[in-house]
């Protein structure tokens, strides 16, 4: 899973990137157009428990890649996206907009005031405009080539939708239309999370970013974090972090909360494999069929799929192994159409 982190200049984007990923990217390096990239492992107590039980040679957690894209200041303080940013963002699965909700006299900002809702609308409009430019160019080309087919009709619908001020993620599409648009990698079609970056003075207050109503109106996921404080805590030894979080009123560990919200927003879950060679979490979308889940491990398993041997997580812990679970009658044999459940432990049988 790839998540692009975007935001207006000096919104605290790289501070939060460092806090969530454990990276040490330079903060305020606006002269650089290189994106900061970090890969983090998704905490999963189920993987920990299986590894302690099975004692595999290798333990592999699901991973998330963060891409922190620096705004191009030459475009003005109210703009984020240039060609370099678009190159980084087009292949992401989701976007996170870090919105400034902290006061700092040393930080210049649009209209010289802190207004998270204004900034959220501003960047949303930039995403829409970026997509609209691509759509209009493609429509123009199709019309020039006299190709007014289904693609043309769909793009005309997209253009009309954006011209109402709405993002493409709110446009109702059937499965075929979603596939047709997929190749364009439209930014306003990607799931978007708002991350309100509030100041230390707002810790413990309800709705510290003031974005709750806007996020609900836009049907967007919202998380509030105090970026500077999160970074300070993240740099502490691991065994001291919970005590400091409790003392400061920061609540649940920020990385866990953020990743859970990202999984929910994208409709993701994990299935597990457990054996002596490796215990591993595999990320799939909710509602994935067994034959498609097999492809996540290897295309050969999907191609030669025979069946999926499924054991529930608690049953596996009680049995201790797939073989013992089979002996105790806890294993189910499922076919290609079986819909995977979060935490299913599976052994695929296949023949190629």
Q: What is the reported pLDDT for 47?
A: 97
Beta-bridged to residue 94, according to DSSP, are 3
Q: Which one of 3.90.1150.10, 3.30.470.20, 3.40.50.300, 1.20.1370.20 gives the CATH number of domain 2-265? A: 3.40.50.300
SS3 content of the chain, % helix, strand, coil (to 5): 45, 20, 35
Q: What is the reported pLDDT for 136?
A: 96
Compute the distance between CA of residue 125 and CA of residue 63 in angstroms, rounded to an integer.
31
Please say whether the dihedral angle defined by the alpha carbons of residues 228, 70, 68 and 2, taken in this order, is positive or negative: positive
- Work out the mean pLDDT of the chain and round it to a whole number: 90
- CA end-to-end span of the chain: 29
Q: What is the reported pLDDT for 30?
A: 52
Q: How confident is the model at residue 74 (pLDDT cuts 50, 70, 90)?
A: low
The rounded percent of the chain whose pLDDT value lies above 70 is: 94
pLDDT in tens, 203-252: 888 999 999 999 999 989 999 998 888 888 888 888 888 888 888 777 77
Q: How confident is the model at residue 21 (pLDDT cuts 50, 70, 90)?
A: confident
Cβ 96 vs Cβ 3: under 8 Å: yes
The model carries a pTM of 0.87
Domain residue spans in the chain? 2-265, 287-350
Look at strands 278-285 and 58-60 and give their pairing: parallel
Half-sphere exposure of 336 (CA within 13 A, CB side): 10
Q: What is the reported pLDDT for 35?
A: 86
Tokens 């030894």 appear where? 237
Check pLDDT > 70 for residue 292. yes
| CB-based burial, 254-285: b 16+ in 10 Å, e otherwise | bbebbbebbbebbebbbbbbbeeeebbbbbbe
182 φ/ψ angles, rounded to the nearest 5 degrees: -55, -40
Q: Which CATH superfamily is domain 287-350 in?
A: Beta-grasp domain (3.10.20.30)
Q: What is the reported pLDDT for 244?
A: 82
pLDDT in tens, 311-338: 999 999 999 999 999 999 999 999 999 9
| CB-based burial, 63-92: b 16+ in 10 Å, e otherwise | ebebbbbbbbeeeeebbbbbeebeebbeeb
Q: How confident is the model at residue 22 (pLDDT cuts 50, 70, 90)?
A: confident
What single DSSP character describes residue 190? Answer: S
- Identify which has the larger pLDDT, 247 or 348: 348
Q: What is the reported pLDDT for 234?
A: 84
pLDDT in tens, 137-196: 999 999 998 888 899 999 999 999 999 999 999 999 998 999 999 999 999 999 999 999
Cβ count within 10 A of residue 128: 21
**50 contacts: CB under 8 Å, gap ≥ 6:** 272, 274, 279, 316, 317, 345
């Amino acid at each position: 899973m790839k998540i692009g982190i975007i935001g207006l200049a000096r919104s605290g984007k790289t501070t939060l990137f460092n806090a969530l990923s454990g990276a040490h990217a330079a903060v305020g390096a606006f002269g650089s157009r290189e994106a900061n990239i970090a890969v983090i492992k998704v905490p999963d107590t189920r993987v920990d428990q299986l590894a302690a039980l099975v004692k595999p040679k290798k333990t592999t957690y699901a991973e998330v890649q963060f891409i922190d894209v620096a705004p191009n200041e030459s475009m003005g303080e109210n703009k984020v996206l240039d060609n370099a940013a678009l190159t980084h963002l087009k292949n992401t699965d989701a976007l996170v907009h870090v919105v400034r909700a902290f006061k700092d006299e040393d930080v210049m900002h649009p209209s010289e005031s802190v207004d998270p809702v204004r900034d959220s609308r501003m960047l949303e409009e930039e995403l829409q405009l970026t997509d609209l430019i691509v759509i209009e160019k493609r429509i123009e080309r199709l019309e020039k080539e006299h190709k007014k087919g289904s693609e043309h009709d769909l793009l005309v619908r997209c253009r009309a939708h954006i011209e109402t001020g709405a993002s493409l993620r709110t446009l109702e599409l059937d499965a075929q239309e979603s596939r047709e648009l997929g190749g364009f990698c439209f930014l306003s079609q990607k799931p978007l999370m708002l991350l309100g970056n509030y100041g230390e003075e707002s810790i413990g207050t309800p709705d510290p970013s003031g974005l709750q109503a806007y996020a609900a109106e836009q049907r967007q996921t919202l998380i509030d974090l105090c970026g500077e404080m999160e970074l300070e805590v993240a740099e502490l030894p691991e065994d001291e972090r919970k005590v400091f979080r409790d003392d400061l009123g920061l609540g649940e560990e920020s990385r866990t909360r953020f990743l859970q919200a990202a999984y929910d927003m994208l409709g993701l879950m994990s299935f597990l494999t457990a054996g002596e060679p490796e215990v591993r979490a595999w990320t799939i979308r909710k509602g994935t069929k067994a034959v498609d889940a097999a492809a996540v491990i290897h295309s050969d398993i999907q191609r030669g799929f025979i069946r999926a041997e499924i054991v529930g997580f608690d049953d596996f812990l009680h049995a201790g192994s797939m073989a013992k679970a089979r002996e105790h009658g806890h294993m189910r044999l499922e076919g290609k159409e079986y819909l995977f459940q979060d935490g299913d432990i599976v052994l695929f049988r296949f023949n190629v």
